Structure 1
Amino acid sequence: MNNLDLQRKSLPKSPGVYTFKNNKGKIIYIGKANDLRKRVSSYFLKTSYNDPYYEEKIKEMVKEIDSIEYIVTENEKEAYILENIRIKNYLPRYNVFMRDSKSYPWVAIFYEEDFPRIRVVRNPENYSQNTVFIGPYTDKKEIIQILRDLRKTFPYCSCKKKLSKSKRPCLYYQLKLCPGPCISDISSKDYRGNIKEIELFLKGEKNLLVKQIQKKMEKAAESKDFEKAAFWRDKLQAIEHSTTSQNVLFENEENKDILGYYSDGEQKYFAMTIMHIREGRIMNKSSFIIDLKEKVIKKNEMFSSIMERFYLSSNPNLPITIVLPELYEGIELFRDVLMKSKSDFHIRVAQDKEFGLIRIARKNAKVIVEQEIKMLEIKLEDGELRIEILEQMKEILELPHIPRIIEGFDISNIEGTDATGSMVCFLEGKPYKKNYRHYKIRSKSTPDDVAMMREVIMRRYSMILEKNLELPDLILVDGGKGQLNAGVAVLKELGIDRVPIIGLAKKNEEIFLPNRKEPIQLPIESQVLKLFQHIRDEAHRFAVNLHKKQREKKMKGSVLDHIKGIGPSTRNKLLIRFGSVEGIKEASFDDIVNLVGIKIANKIKKELF
């Protein structure tokens, strides 16, 4: 029994948070559990999952685990809170968190000061508890402009230094954008009242703000202080003007967040958009995109995981209600934790008009994903940039010349059956789909990625030599030393070992070269690394497509083909009518009889029902 097995088998059967580390002591994953031993053991004992994407990521992660640590908690709720705190602090490679989540701008109001300052900040958790945060916003320029406009109605001091008595006021005072606390032109009490009005406005609590100002205006009028009454009247008009352009969507003026999400078909990116409704109006929206590469998360858990990270990771201004497209298992725990901040808080599914906003939120999320993909394409379309990247690649790998033609190989072998290989070709940094090739693995029925990689490379370059076609300038294989050595052996056997070849391992995105002991590890922002990743991901996508088609064909045909009396014509008729074997199972017996007759229908019933 190895050390890792001893660690997991000796874990307590208690609620808590577990941490996986690699052989360098780096935290790669943090999770919570109601039963630590059971949850951690599931990663090592379960061999197949319904979600192939999740299964692939789990297997990658488990290979990297070197040690397990844990913290026991009193209950699952404590574990839930602690998990979020630790993920936020360590940002493990396989966990999901918002891209650049630390960098979203917030409006901060520093109430611990006599004359509270207003600043745009990042990382709310770094400030004192007496600071109020409003946000987050996705665009810093947008919130700065809002504050500039707001200052005309609610003047405030923007001095960054500590306030001290001054004989002369600043320019902002002359422009009526600052009430002059530095020259004692306003008391701390009145100044704080002004700042409180700014807070209400930014939070979207317009009705409460209007009521407060109306009271002040009426009080001034009753005291015959008409100049002060006019001052409050002008403020009211400015507030009304600032909100007239916002459409009222809901008569009940409930404060709520409406959420929508979108994931691209290849599961590279996941985006979430939150429509912030305050007093019946759309105040603003927040959008987040997650790069899903390497993240260990099930398809049906993406939305819940990312939503919870958002609401628990910072200090957002919680609405009364969060409205979702659908509820999910475990949402009660999330709700209970948030209710500590707001006792009347609740979560529910969309109703009536809200479905329209769910669609809008989803559309916004989809646009963000499409923009991300398009930006990558645009970067690769830029001829000068591509040549520059290839020049850098030549220098890093010490190639004899620019790798004009790069061929990438991948094996798709999710459950050890229907294994397929793929080869993609990139010409001057761009996909050249005319030269893409699929390979059905012939050599083995049991999973052996190295042997299968050897077979595919052998078949590819045997054909190239036979037909006297152009060899690539660089070969990239998906994998580490094993796959690379298999490729090197094939090239040597074929007498073309002059062709450069590298391996790109998913673990830490390391680049392996022949005759070099230590791998190369490029910075995560390196354009060369991004191109290598693009080639590998494209090869994987292409391999998975054939893999799916093979499995679907096998699944479609396998059950029906074993039923005596059903030939290709009858099978196709059934699949066209009912869509799949599952569709046939769900169909009524009468419908099957009407399509293929009582005799065959009885045989189908016997086999499938």
Structure 2
Amino acid sequence: MATERIAKLLKKLPDRPGVYLMRDAAGEVIYVGKAKSLKKRVSSYFRHDSFASPRLRKLVQSIEDISVIRTESEVEALILEAKLIRKYSPFFNVDLKMSDRYPYIKITRELFPRIVVTRQRGKDDALYFGPYVSAGDVRSLLRLIERYFPLRICARDIDASTPEKNGRPCLHYSLGRCLGPCAGLVTPADYRERVDDVILLLQGQSSEVVERLRKRMDRAAKSLAFEEAARLRDTIRAIWRITRQRITSPLREDFDGDMWQCLNRLQQALRLPVIPWRIDGFDISHMSGRETYGVVVVFEQGSPNTSLYRRFRIKTVEGVDDFRSLEETVTRRYGQSLKGSEPLPQLVLIDGGPVQLEFARKALDELGLKDLPAVSLAKQEELIYHTPGEEPLRLDFGDSALRLLQRVRDESHRFAIESHRASRSARLRRSVLEEVPGIGRHRAAQLLGRFGSVRNMAAMSAEELATVPGIGPAMAERILSVLKENIGGTEPEKN
């Protein structure tokens, strides 16, 4: 049976795609899985009929915590699951540790790379993605690629210097499932661009693919290649449709699910060069000038992607200075992006007015990101500051563009407060123990992990504390003296 804490956690799980990580009492990841619906899949482990398998029974008995990462689609959940299994090698994913039985998707290292399914990861220069638990999942992924980003699958030798000797393209070309490199119908550079799209998709970076396609669509439209522009437009819409998050939120209910029109409206209202499919929202939180944190939340296709949220403890600013704290946060955030660890958004949203926006833009300028669109949203009158020297933009309160910006702003504010409270609580718990002579950070964490809280420890006797390896009677007395002096009461916490 699930513990009371696990039962509460199960009730909060979203009915949407994602990956779940199950941990044991030591905090080790013991199982990683993917789900079309996190709520339904994870809850199924704790049903009575799930205990028929001894292996599953042992897994469920070992679970002490469950964390989830929501994704935009089942495809991205599949990709992320494979990454996390390789990273953690969970004990109960033993089958995947013997992964030569499970399929990989391989992109060969050739002038015109092929896409191949293989059950052996060779020691060559090819790129491998996986292993994937289900061959059916691999087929679904390949159908997506075949339809929108067709690469050749044949092993035919291609002489790029004299393509006329290669003969006519095969049936796959006629069906639109290959670009026909064997017949010289595509250049190596154009083909490589398509390969890069596929690699990004297999890495789960669908938003990056959309941005690449939008740039190509704009170029095609400007050169009057309208057929190609239309094809790229349809591909973008297909990716958005496939990766669209299936969640219920006030924002989506207001827009009746038509996020495409909402983002179009936002682009129009702010005169943005492209549709802002990704928006980064920034805010600052502090407590009387202490423990200042800067945060960034990420909305993709109008919905929050919590796996991409970030927080930064401010290091270079003393006292209460939200402006310079914001400047530091923006600098550190996009300094990481420029190193390739995070993609850039199409719009930066700052919680505040023109001064906050000025400091954010200063940080962007110094990073060489002067052309990255940035706006700020002031709370009182909901004015949008967008262009230096121009009057702020005032949208109707029913405008879908304003509602989207408000939601990003409000979410960044919520996350800033939540991050500050969590960090402050953790610091307070650690610092009291670390004031005890001879108790360092590692030992403090060890004690908290065993007893749950400093209040529980303060309610114990010195003899009980002395049973912990490495804690003798004298150390136990010192610990209790410091704890009771700092936290007062000695009643243990109630679960």
- Length-normalised TM-score, structure 1: 0.35
